[in-house]
Amino acid sequence: MNNLFPPEDFDDWAENYDYSVSTDQFPFRGYRDVLRRISALARPRPGLTVLDLGTGTGNLAMLFARAGCELCCTDFSEAMLAKARQKIPAAHFALHDLRTNLPSGFTGPFDRIVSAYVFHHFELSEKIRILKSLAARLAPAGTIVIGDIAFPDRAALEQVKAEAGDEWEDEFYWLADESLSALEGAGLQAAYQQVSSCAGVFVLHSTERNKKG
């Protein structure tokens, strides 16, 4: 499997990751606001089963743990998982590349599937493929909430790119206008909220599941 973003890079980053996201500069401008918005839109409460994909050091998962949710957390970096385990020892963790099938014991159904700052590593077609497969793991009335580096459209991306200068890195950032139509075309009801100049949150439901229900 082609790996533009090898796990070793994230292993090396694990020790300083929490500092990196606290700088409030591109690409993490508004990072804490994004996590809080994900949590607010997911409406956590005690007993909900939550799958956190690409949990990193567990910053998003902690919000759901504090709300009393049952947590399953995945990441493809063992060093990142080690940090997350220290923060949330009661959660269930698995080493996993989310482009592959979910690991044994992590197949759901889940009331919520959440993720922060992960999907920009994949082209839009791969994003859609992964999200469609995850939608099948939702419980009835379940929701997917994704926060990530994202822009309303190409013009907004280009403006932030110019402002970021040498800090800019070309990755597969979400463009909400094209992403929303692609998600809807794939059978995923989608809504989007911009949170900062370079990040936003998608809320997804499976239209096929809703029809069956």
Q: Are 50 and 44 in contact (CB under 8 A)?
A: yes
How do residues 157-183 score in pLDDT, each as one tens digit? 999 999 999 999 999 999 999 999 999
Predicted confidence at residue 45, as pLDDT, reads 97
Spatial distance between the Cα atoms of 174 and 122, rounded to a whole number of angstroms: 10
**How confident is the model over 115-170, as pLDDT tens digits?**
999 999 999 999 999 999 999 999 999 999 999 999 999 999 999 999 999 999 99
**Has residue 210 got a pLDDT over 70?**
no
Above 90 in pLDDT, residue 206?
no
SS3 at position 197: coil
What average pLDDT score do residues 194-199 get?
A: 98
- The count of C-alpha atoms lying within 13 angstroms of the C-alpha of 128, restricted to the half-sphere facing its C-beta, is 16
Q: Percentage of the chain surpassing pLDDT 70?
A: 94
Higher pLDDT, 210 or 151: 151
d(CA 155, CA 162): 11
Q: Could you give all domains of the chain from N- to C-terminal order, each with its CATH number?
A: 7-212 (3.40.50.150)
pLDDT bracket for residue 208 (50, 70, 90): low
Of 130, 119, 106, nearest in space to 49 by CA: 106
How does pLDDT run across 77-113, given as a tens digit for each residue?
A: 999 999 999 999 999 999 999 999 999 989 889 999 9
